[in-house]
Amino acid sequence: MSSEWISLNLVTIRQGPLPELEILRGVLAEEGIQSTIPDATIKLWDPFITGANSFSCTLQVPLAHRERALATLEQNDAQARDALHEMGDREWAGSEDEPTAEDQRQGELSAVGRRICWAVLFGFTHPFAIYWAHSDFKQLRSVERRPQGKSFVVLALAAMVVSWFAWGFNLFVA
């Protein structure tokens, strides 16, 4: 272990999911730059003990190697974008075209749909699901095509209503 690690002058250069940071750690090791992911072990064993941002870790390097590490990672990101662009995967390569208003609308509606599905899981969040579903279905009229996963949202809402009827039946009839 070198003296750089003993001084503990570490700086965070990247934050993200653990598998991605492990790959970047290997990229830095190829360049001879030592790095560490200090919260890797706890994230593997109990990710929720660290709070709301449970699946995000930090990649740290000694302060003396910060600039070189950032340059290496930037070069690696550029190579990855080029390779993905050559493969034709525009979504991952970050295409140069600006997303259209319709694409942004589709993304917003998909996000609301995910929120609705999560809110259906617990009885105390059903009012949120109803509120979001009402606004979501009103907004669906203004788009040309349905966002991906809307059928699942409708199925989740139907399951919520069925659970209400089952609860009401047990409460009042049985």
pLDDT at 158 over 70: yes
Rounded Cα–Cα distance for residues 146 and 149 (Å): 8
pLDDT at 141 over 60: yes
CB 119 within 8 A of CB 131: no
What are the tokens at 75? Answer: 């070069």
Return all residues near 128 (Cβ < 8 A) that are at least 6 apart.
115, 119
The structure's pTM equals 0.48
Rounded Cα–Cα distance for residues 169 and 32 (Å): 68
The CB density around residue 9, as the number of other CB atoms within 10 Å, is 13
Residue 91's pLDDT band, with cuts at 50, 70 and 90, is: low
What are the tokens at 31? Answer: 């360049």
Could you read off the pLDDT of 25-75 as tens digits, one per residue?
999 999 999 999 988 888 778 777 777 677 788 899 998 899 999 999 899
Average pLDDT, stretch 116-128?
87
